[in-house]
Structure 1
Amino acid sequence: MPPVPIADDLFTWPDDEPRLIGGRCEECGTHVFPLRAGCARCGAAAVERALLSRSGTLWTWTTQGFPPKAPFRGEFAGTDPFEPWPVGVVELPGQLRVESLLTGCAVGDLEFGMPMRLVTMPFSTGEDGREIITFAFAPEGTGHA
């Protein structure tokens, strides 16, 4: 069975060069993610679908230092022994900042402002046995796909 995305209309799938699916307010130009019906900045209802940039810069990060509680179902969180993983905020130039898992890097390698790119990665396995895919950001130039 082919893999499925963690949620519909979150990122383009299947796609060798995935993009986050956000929105852009037709009134004030503000970008939103995920796509929603109204603008958080000006309150307008005229938000159009917009594909966000694949590249950005690491604005800040931290680590998930303990196993998350239910209902989180990400399989990478179930390693034994538990290994913390990085979570960051990536700034997409001229658009917005996105909170995301970080992959293809060690915490000691992360630097403020480092170039990042959007990738997809396995998240979990569904009850039907299908692999569930989510988005993450990886340092630009890494071999992580």
Structure 2
Amino acid sequence: MGIQLVDESLFSSVDPVALRGSACAACAAHVFPAQGSCPMCAGTEVEPVALPSSGTVWSWTTQHIAPKPPYRTDEFAPFSIGYVDLGPIIVEGWLVGKTEWVIGEPVRLVLAKAWTQDSEPVFTYGFESAS
């Protein structure tokens, strides 16, 4: 059995982990998750792109309220969430592996366990410290 993902459309690949975004041919804006048109200029010539797998913490906080579905609340524990600057785009995601973060801290993309379903882990994306 393969890796179960919260949403396969978020990923370009899982080995190595890469997020699927889109880039506009007209204005070069990057979007995540990928879209069929550009929200910046309304251009329709967009290409799927694998986003960079490393960046820096742009901002972060600890979330003490369970996320909305499809996330399950029976396994909820407070978690760090942040914005990560990947260069062409800033992406929101879980920050995993520790509870305190520093703005500007280098991070890398990883698979992060979201919950367990039928005794198997279901993964989303997250970022761990690269330092």
- Asked if TM exceeds 0.5, the reply is yes
User: CA 1:130–1:2 in structure 2 vs 1: closer, same or farther (change >3 Å)?
Assistant: farther
Match of 1:23 in 2: 22
Note closer, same or farther for the CA distance 1:27–1:73 as it changes in structure 2 (3 Å cut). Answer: same
* C-alpha contact (below 8 Å) 2:18/2:51 kept by paired residues: yes
Q: Which has the larger radius of gyration?
A: 1
Number of residue-to-residue matches in the alignment: 131
Taking only the aligned residue pairs, the percentage that are identical comes to 35
TM-score relative to the length of structure 1: 0.81
* Separation of aligned partners in 2, 1:6 and 1:75: 16
Deviations 1:86-112 (A, max 9, x none): 10000111x1100001101222xx111
Maintained 8 Å contact 2:71/2:114: no
Deviation (angstroms), 1:135: 0.4
Match of 1:4 in 2: 4
Question: Of residues 115, 121, 139 in structure 1, which corresponds to 2:129?
Answer: 139
2:79 matches 1:89: no
State the Cα RMSD in Å. 1.9
TM-score calculated relative to the size of structure 2: 0.89
Measure the CA separation in 1 of the matches of 2:13 and 2:120.
15
Displaced runs of 4 or more, over 6 A: none
What is the match of residue 118 of structure 1? 109
CA-CA distance at 1:9 after TM superposition: 2.1
